[in-house]
Structure 1
Amino acid sequence: MGLIKKLAGQSAIYGISSILGKSINFLLVPLYTGYLPKEELGSFTMLYAMIAFLNVIFTFGMETSYFRFSTGKGLDPKVVFQNAQSLVAVVGLSLGIILFLFAENLSLLFDYQGKSHLFQWAAMILTIDALMALPFARLRLDGRSLTFALLKLLNIFLNVGFNVLFIVVAYHIVEGDILQILYPFVSQWYNPDWGVDYILLANLLANLLILPFLWKLAGQWEFQLKRTILLPMWKYALPLLFMGLAGVTNDVFSRGLFEYALPDGFYPELTSREAGGVFGATFRLAILMSLIIQAFKYAAEPFFFQQSENKNSPLLFARVMHWFIIFCTFLMVVVAVNLKLIGALFFQADGYTAALPMVPILLMGYLLLGVYYNLSIWFKITDQTRYSFYITLVGAFITVVIILTLVPIWGFIGGALSTLGSYLVMVLLCYFIGQKYYPIPYQTKKDIGYLIIAFLLSYGGFLLDTGSLAINFILHTSIILLYGGLIFLMEKKELYSLLKSLSKK
């Protein structure tokens, strides 16, 4: 129980910082929907899908490889870090330069004529992200979750600040609404035709400012490239690279593909690119679940590696999975039954509510992604990372197939089903193959029961609308209490034991 307490504590720090940071970042949704045309949001969705996809190539699985070779391999973690960071820096800078030089060609290929600077900035963002990946991983491995969290928050504050400055403040200064004394200065650089341009520029500036702080706090880096260390790390990481590419296809790339799969005129009031913007913006309403998953991953990955030599680790992993599912299903129910209220608060223009019915599906999809992260520990600690490639390749294939077949029929719902279907198949494959190579005594039937009941309550609660705010509130709250009561009845003994443990100093 003490180990679960440790994991819960670190997850809480990562989670609080992620939720606080992303809540601040989430305020960009009404800003974007209020100030930018839907077509610009479509461009934003596509470009960030590309960045997410290439980001995997720039880091090529070396974060997980660093965790593995710094624990249980008899190597000096400092030496492993120096070599891994050096290799990532060489690859990241090389790829960044190539992408920067071919920015004009890419702008023509993706139909962004006259916008080659977007791809130049994307190249710089990707390079800086790669240079920060291993230092952030080092903070996680060293258990410095608070330092990690504070740096992430600072980065988000800077990003949001630059977004507000460029998109809101500068706009109103040029329009003569505020601070007219600054008009001569701002009018020299402000471009009213820029939308996604300022989003990328804000991201770039925030990353540039955070990089020196991260390098200083993460510790000294000496350039080293030792073949004896890097070759086995590379062999371990290579399947993870392909896993990451397939995973991004499942999670993010589908958002970029959506606008191309949607037939013209499917939504009469929206062009395909505008619908892609609505799809990407509504995707963000599933952010609370993705935040919890990300926070858990930050804490759990190094934790699992550190506990892998413990003879009781299978029991520990099963227990972690069980409580992870309980917590996340409860969160899913809370968010889903209040989606209409959340949507009304954050969408500041017409045309977004049509996509709301896809959000409960996305919440369930992200929850299954978290289940997959739990399950995937078996191939990481047994050094059989090739299975990660096979599993996620199947998931990526399913994502693309569902996008191409169901989006033309069901639109937004079809896009959401690609996420759910992909992660469901990945979970099933990872579970059955993992139980063969590294058996873990999961509470499978009980956990599946929680997942099914929570999803039914979530979607039912979302659809439940009496037309009265007061009655809706009572009914939605009753659904949340009903599920909470079910958890209490099913886990009464465990809850008492867990609360007693967590209360100990």
Structure 2
Amino acid sequence: MSNLKQLASQTAIYGLSSILGRSINFLLIIVYTAYLSKEDMGAFTGIYALIGFLNIVFTYGMETSFFRFSTGKNLDPSKVYYTTQSLLITSSLVLGSSLYLAAPVLSEWMEYPGQAYLFRWTALLLTFDAILAIPFAKLRLENKALIFASAKILNILMNVGFNLILIVAFPFLITEGIIPEGFLGYRSEWGVEYILLANLFANGLIVPFVWWKAGMFRFQLDSSILFPMWKYSIPLLFMGLAGVTNELISRLLFEYLLPENFYPGLSTREAAGIFGANFKLAILMNLVIQAFKYAAEPFFFKKSNDQNSPLLYAKVMHAFIVFCALLMIAISVNLYWIGPLFLRSPGYEEGLFIVPSLLMGYLLLGVYFNLSIWFKITDQTNYSFWITLAGAIASIVIIWSLLPIWGYFGAALSTLGCYLIMCVLCFFYGQKYYPIPYQTGKGIFYLMLGFAISYGGFYLELEHSTVNFIFKNSLILIFGAFIFLLEKNQIMSYLKRDKK
């Protein structure tokens, strides 16, 4: 139980930065939907999906590789840090320069004619992200959770601040005649441009702080460390590419696969903006998973040599499923007021019905992260590629076949379907090569029941607003009470053991 408490405390601290910070960032959707056009929202959705893909290429699995080799018995953690960071600095400069030069071609290919500057800024943003990855990982490995959280929150606060200045404050000051049109080169017709610039400024300014807090660094490429790390990380690169395909392919391809006039009165890019805005609401689940991942990845590796680690992993998985199923229900039944609160312009609410499916998809992603520990600690990362590739293929097939028919819902199903397939495959091979005593039957039952209650609570409406709110939220309490009755003996056992 002490191990679970340790993981929970670390998750809480990382959650402070991830949930609080990203929640602040999440509030930007109010600004974007209120001040920007649906076309700008569509551009934001597509360009940031591309950034998500390229982020994997720029870091190519080195973060996980750094954790693995820094905790090795015969390696100096400092040398591992120097080598990993030196490699990423070198490769990021090469990849960033290549993307910068290719910006005019990329802008035409993605149907942003005359806007090559968007992709030049993207190249700089990706370079900053890559050279921050290993210093942030080092802070996590050294259990400097408070410093990590502070840096993340500072970065997000700067990003939000720049967004508010560029998208809200400057137009207001120009309209009121306080500053002239074109002040400091400001262009009123820009929208997505200012989202990118705000992100770029914030990431560039945080680099010195994070490098300072991560500790001393010197450029060093040790071949005795480099080549084994490279061998370990290459499958993770392909896994990452396949994984990000699963997560982002629907947003990247939406405007290109949706038939013209599928939604009357909306261009395909505007419809992509609606889809992307509703996808953002599902980030509430992803925030919890990200916080859990920050704490769990180094925790899992450190506990991998313990004799009872399989039982510990099973307990963590079970607790994760219960908590996230409750969260999925809580968000889904309250979408009727959460949606209008964050999506400020008319028209966005027509995509709300996809959010429960997206929440379930992200929950399954968290389940997959728990399951994937077997190939990470046994160094069989080649399985990660094939499993994630299967999910990517499923994602592409689903979106290609269902988006032109079902629109928003077809795109959402690609997220749910691919993570379900990945979970099934990862569980099957994991039990074969590294058996973990998961409570499989209970876990599946909780997930299915939680998903059914989520959609039921979303669609069921009562006339009186107060009664409707009480009824919907009572579903959370009913599900929680049901879980408690089934888990009562196990919970009491944990509490007694902890007292001893």
The two structures have a TM-score, normalised by structure 1, of 0.97
- Please state how far the C-alpha of 1:466 moved relative to its aligned partner: 1.8
CA contact (8 A) 1:170 1:186 kept: no
| The one of 260, 271, 275 aligned to 1:275 | 271
Q: What letter is aligned with 1:407?
A: L
What do residues 302-321 of structure 1 show as CA deviations (whole Å, max 9, x unaligned)? 11110111111100100100
Aligned to 2:318: 322
1:290-329 equivalent positions in 2, closer than 5 A: 290-329=286-325
Aligned to 1:347: 343
Aligned to 2:91: 91
Query: Equivalents in 1 of 2:302, 2:372: separation in Å?
Result: 15
- Please state how far the C-alpha of 1:2 moved relative to its aligned partner: 0.7
What SS does the aligned partner of 1:491 have?
A: helix
- Please state how far the C-alpha of 1:494 moved relative to its aligned partner: 3.0
Q: What letter is aligned with 1:71?
A: T
- Please state how far the C-alpha of 1:482 moved relative to its aligned partner: 0.5
1:423-434 equivalent positions in 2, closer than 5 A: 423-434=419-430
CA contact (8 A) 2:250 2:412 kept: no
CA contact (8 A) 2:174 2:181 kept: no
CA contact (8 A) 1:173 1:186 kept: no
Q: What letter is aligned with 1:161?
A: G
- Please state how far the C-alpha of 1:340 moved relative to its aligned partner: 1.2
What do residues 320-341 of structure 1 show as CA deviations (whole Å, max 9, x unaligned)? 0000101110111111100111
Structure 1, 310-319 or 486-495: larger mean CA deviation: 486-495
Query: Equivalents in 2 of 1:412, 1:467: separation in Å?
Result: 27
Aligned to 1:418: 414
Matched, 1:386 2:378: no
Aligned to 1:438: 434
Aligned to 1:26: 26
Query: Equivalents in 2 of 1:359, 1:500: separation in Å?
Result: 39
What do residues 376-399 of structure 1 show as CA deviations (whole Å, max 9, x unaligned)? 000001111001100111111111
CA contact (8 A) 2:30 2:344 kept: yes
CA contact (8 A) 1:2 1:501 kept: no
- Please state how far the C-alpha of 1:153 moved relative to its aligned partner: 0.4
Structure 1, 343-352 or 488-497: larger mean CA deviation: 488-497
Judged with a 3 Å threshold, the aligned counterparts in structure 2 of structure 1 residues 164 and 407 are, in CA distance, closer, same or farther, namely: same
- Please state how far the C-alpha of 1:253 moved relative to its aligned partner: 2.8
Aligned to 2:15: 15
The two structures have a TM-score, normalised by structure 2, of 0.98
- Please state how far the C-alpha of 1:188 moved relative to its aligned partner: 4.1
| The one of 437, 461, 482 aligned to 1:486 | 482
Query: Equivalents in 2 of 1:191, 1:502: separation in Å?
Result: 61
Structure 2 portions without partners, runs of 5+ = none
Query: Equivalents in 1 of 2:41, 2:498: separation in Å?
Result: 44
The alignment-based identity, stated in percent, is 59
What SS does the aligned partner of 2:282 have?
A: helix
What do residues 82-137 of structure 1 show as CA deviations (whole Å, max 9, x unaligned)? 10111111111110011111111211121111111110100000000000000000
Aligned to 2:49: 49
| The one of 261, 265, 284 aligned to 2:280 | 284
Structure 1 portions without partners, runs of 5+ = none
- Please state how far the C-alpha of 1:503 moved relative to its aligned partner: 8.4
Runs of 4 or more consecutive aligned structure 1 residues displaced over 3 Å after TM superposition: 496-504
Aligned to 1:359: 355
Query: Equivalents in 2 of 1:392, 1:307: separation in Å?
Result: 25
Query: Equivalents in 2 of 1:502, 1:117: separation in Å?
Result: 58
Aligned to 2:131: 131
1:455-470 equivalent positions in 2, closer than 5 A: 455-470=451-466
Q: What letter is aligned with 1:16?
A: L
1:33-432 equivalent positions in 2, closer than 5 A: 33-176=33-176, 180-181=177-178, 183-184=179-180, 187-432=183-428
Query: Equivalents in 1 of 2:343, 2:149: separation in Å?
Result: 28
What SS does the aligned partner of 1:240 have?
A: helix
CA contact (8 A) 2:79 2:222 kept: no
Query: Equivalents in 2 of 1:288, 1:66: separation in Å?
Result: 28
- Please state how far the C-alpha of 1:468 moved relative to its aligned partner: 2.3
Query: Equivalents in 2 of 1:299, 1:188: separation in Å?
Result: 43
- Please state how far the C-alpha of 1:14 moved relative to its aligned partner: 1.1
Q: What letter is aligned with 1:252?
A: L
CA contact (8 A) 2:372 2:426 kept: yes
Structure 1, 63-72 or 372-381: larger mean CA deviation: 63-72
What SS does the aligned partner of 1:94 have?
A: helix
What do residues 209-265 of structure 1 show as CA deviations (whole Å, max 9, x unaligned)? 100000000111111111111101000000000000011111123211111111111
Query: Equivalents in 1 of 2:253, 2:498: separation in Å?
Result: 45
Q: CA RMSD in A?
A: 1.3
Structure 1, 248-257 or 435-444: larger mean CA deviation: 248-257
What do residues 409-458 of structure 1 show as CA deviations (whole Å, max 9, x unaligned)? 11111111000000000000000011111010100001111101111111
Q: What letter is aligned with 2:236?
A: L
Query: Equivalents in 2 of 1:49, 1:502: separation in Å?
Result: 45
What SS does the aligned partner of 2:387 have?
A: helix
Query: Equivalents in 2 of 1:471, 1:502: separation in Å?
Result: 41
Q: What letter is aligned with 2:349?
A: T
What do residues 265-296 of structure 1 show as CA deviations (whole Å, max 9, x unaligned)? 11102111101011111101111100011011
Judged with a 3 Å threshold, the aligned counterparts in structure 2 of structure 1 residues 407 and 137 are, in CA distance, closer, same or farther, namely: same
Q: What letter is aligned with 1:475?
A: F
CA contact (8 A) 2:300 2:373 kept: yes
CA contact (8 A) 1:372 1:427 kept: yes
Query: Equivalents in 2 of 1:503, 1:11: separation in Å?
Result: 22
